[in-house]
Amino acid sequence: MTAPARPAPAVDTDSAGFWEACAREELVGQRCGTCSAWRWPPRDHCPHCHAMDPVWERLGGTGRIVGFVVVHRVLDPAFADETPLAIVHVELDGTDGEMVLTSQLQPGEWRTAAVGTPVSVRFTRVRDGLTLPTFTIRDEPQEAHRVLD
């Protein structure tokens, strides 16, 4: 029996540049072309100066976990083989704290998830036309704070 298809993200004109970059295994962020403020989620106008000139900039793909939850039971059968899994909020380096991406850690890394843990992006090709940014824990000295066991 074939596993159920994983749900795809909703791609619109504002987010298309992000998903196209993921397909190329590049992590990008959207900035305002006028005031340079980072914005997430992507949108057609700047929430700071209201300019309508978004630009995409390549990011280094590193950051720190600022929040997470470990999922042990899933309602969607497409994720049944992936539990337990850690859903993480990652504050991306180089975005002045303005871009926090929600994704998941690589399988098996949920036990070491902690606020402050340094991570790097890894791209996971789920199927044709769908490549997702996920994260893996970086080996470096850290001051992390474990929230849940």
Kindly give the confidence (pLDDT) of every residue in the chain, 149 residues in length, as a single tens digit, with 9 standing for 90 and above. Answer: 566 788 889 999 999 999 999 999 999 999 999 999 999 999 999 999 999 999 999 999 999 999 999 999 999 998 888 899 999 999 999 999 999 999 999 989 999 999 999 999 999 998 888 999 999 999 875 555 554 44
**Which residues does 138 contact at the CB level (< 8 Å), separation at least 6?**
62, 118, 119, 120
Residue 3 falls inside a structural domain: no
Cut 0.85: pTM above it: yes
Residues 94 and 137 in one domain: yes
Domain encompassing residue 43: 12-58
Residues 145 and 88 in one domain: yes
Residues 24 and 66 in one domain: no
Domain count within the chain: 2
Q: Is 17 helix (H, G, I), strand (E, B) or coil?
A: helix
Do residues 61 and 103 lie in contact, with contact meaning Cβ atoms separated by under 8 Å? Answer: no
Residue 99 falls inside a structural domain: yes
Structure confidence at residue 149 (pLDDT): 44
Residue 4 falls inside a structural domain: no
Q: Token pair of 77, please? A: 């059968």
